[in-house]
Amino acid sequence: MSALGQVRIGGKAPFFQCEAVISGVIEEVSLSTYIKPSTKPATPDPQKPWLIILFIPAAFSFVCPTEVLAFQNCYEEFKDRNCGVVFVSVDTKHSLWHWTNVPRQYGGLGQIDIPLLSDATHRMAKDYGVLIEDQGVSLRGMFIVDGEGIVQQITLNNLTVGRSVLEALRLLEAFQAVAKHGVLCPIDWKPSSGAADTINTISNTLAESYDERL
Q: Can you tell me the distance from the alpha carbon of 202 to that of 214, in angstroms, rounded to the nearest whole number?
A: 17
Task: Identify which has the larger pLDDT, 126 or 200.
Answer: 126
pLDDT tens for 150-187 read 999 999 999 999 999 999 999 999 999 999 998 899 98
Mean pLDDT of 1-19: 86
What are the angstrom distances between the C-alpha of 189 and each of 5, 69, 116, 186, 201?
30, 25, 30, 6, 14
Give the closest residue to 55 by CA, choosing from 205, 158, 150.
Answer: 158
Identify the active-site residue in 64, 74, 83, 185.
Answer: 64
pLDDT of residue 199: 52
Mean pLDDT of 32-53: 83
Q: ∠169-170-174 over CA atoms, to 5°?
A: 115
pLDDT of residue 6: 79
pLDDT of residue 202: 57
Q: ∠166-192-156 over CA atoms, to 5°?
A: 30
pLDDT of residue 151: 97
pLDDT of residue 200: 57
Sign of the alpha-carbon torsion through 136, 122, 171, 165: negative
In order of their start, the domains of the chain are 17-37+46-163+175-181 (3.40.30.10), 183-214 (no CATH)
pLDDT of residue 5: 73
pLDDT tens for 89-142 read 999 999 999 999 999 999 999 999 999 999 999 999 999 999 999 999 999 999
pLDDT tens for 50-70 read 999 999 999 999 999 999 999
Is 64 in the active site?
Answer: yes
202 residue type, one letter:
I
Mean pLDDT of 141-145: 98
At residue 201, does pLDDT exceed 90? no
- pTM for this prediction: 0.90
Q: Can you tell me the distance from the alpha carbon of 91 to that of 95, in angstroms, rounded to the nearest whole number?
A: 6
Residue 33 three-state SS: helix
